[in-house]
Amino acid sequence: MNGRWSVGTGTGSGRRPDVRRALTGGRLLWPDGRLRRGELVLHGERIEAVLPAGAALDGAEALDVTGCVVAPGFVDTHVHGGQGANFMSADPALLGRISAYLAAGGVTSCLAGTASLDVTRTADAVAALAALTGRLAGTGGDTPGITMLGIHLEGPFLNPSFRGVHRSEHLRAPTAAELDRLLDLADGALRVVTLAPELPGGPEAVRRLDDAGVVVALGHSGAGDAEASDAVQAGVRRATHLFNGLPPIHHRDPGPVPVLLTDERVRCEVVADGLHVAPRMLRFAVDVAGPDRIMLVSDGTDVAGLPDGRHRRYEGTEVVVHDGQARTPSGGLAGSVTRLADMVRLMVDTAGVDLADALRMAAQTPARSLGLTDRGTLAAGACADVVVLGDDLRVQRTLAHGSVIYSSSQEDAS
């Protein structure tokens, strides 16, 4: 890759608002979902045009990305933190640390994931995160970073028998009073709520949240086939980390997974780190539901990016990080330490998924799951959120709103 665009340059940092830039010579993920060569022209914080290879660039400042793949910035709709920081802290400096960590994995937008806490701490976190929704700072707070699109409330409305590492003392059934309070505090920032619809008040909670414009996700649930079908009918439109925190498929008692995979109204998260779901099952899910309904999520927590050793997560869970895994001392998986770019590579190299489809599952599908059309795509008028991957599918540069927020060359030089 040839060029001198560096972190902090570009219009997203408020500099040179009328500058026109072009990424030239690479293979682009075009709006029709195909990968082919082309020229991507950015103007300010938006994409101006996607042009055929060799088209005139009319004086735009060019960055040669020959040999690279140019894709929409990734949208991580289920992530809790990274580099020792948790979104629920609602500390702008710590959120900046998370922003920089995710940007190095190609992410340009995310939802702030929560964990199960008591009533007061849950409400406080939702209110604080709602106030911070929008563009986060990058490293050191002196450069712009990724966009926090809102909140993904994962818990506390979960089935204790399928809680994973959520703390059992904080789990509870949803009530109208608590939901109304959270919706009021969020003031539109609550975008996804994961819940177990078989809990007392579960069906009513699904309808209440759906009516409020919140995407309801079935997760950490022991729902049977009929209960899952009823939940989708009531308004569930998402599966939280499919296969994980759910009953396994059985040929006489299928459980919720086949319902979620085969109902075209539902989009399904998968944690494609090679640990949470076997690569063959990842390929199976894509073959059944297609890339428009399967989306990659990191489910990264505050221990992601930390060195090997014993750590304590924000909500108090002890975790051992070792050899690219985060586990409880007893050996259970405790979230992922793998970023979306690495999951794209695993989907292609190990699960055998087409690269264009894997890129869509990291960008367009999660954006569409939130009803967003201004990101997740390289289309004229969309946000200039872009990730440039080398021929090894590792991130070379990440641009958000036209600014470079991560560059592998600068990391190597530091």
How far apart, in whole angstroms, are the C-alpha atoms of residue 90 and residue 13? 22
Q: Does the active-site annotation cover 299? A: yes
Using the CB atoms, write b or e for 120-130: b if 16+ within 10 Å.
ebbbebbbbbb
What the block records as the tokens of 95 is 């959120």
* Residue corresponding to tokens 């960055």: 63
Query: Residue 241, CB half-sphere, CA atoms under 13 Å: how many?
Result: 29
Indicate the pairing of strand 20-29 with strand 61-64.
parallel
Cis amide leading into 247 (omega within 30):
no
Nearest alpha carbon to residue 341 among 68, 143, 45, 9: 68
Residue 299 forms beta bridges with which residues?
none
Using DSSP, state whether 400 is helix, strand or coil.
strand
Runs of H (alpha helix) within 167-320: 176-186, 202-211, 225-234, 256-262, 279-289
Residue 119 identity? V
How far apart, in whole angstroms, are the C-alpha atoms of residue 224 and residue 162? 13
What the block records as the tokens of 314 is 């924000």
Which is catalytic among the residues 76, 230, 273, 299? Answer: 299
- Determine the length of the chain: 414
Runs of H (alpha helix) within 212-339: 225-234, 256-262, 279-289
Distances (CA, A) of 372 to 114, 138, 335: 21, 23, 26
Q: What is the CA radius of gyration of the chain?
A: 20
What amino acid positions are annotated as catalytic residues?
A: 299
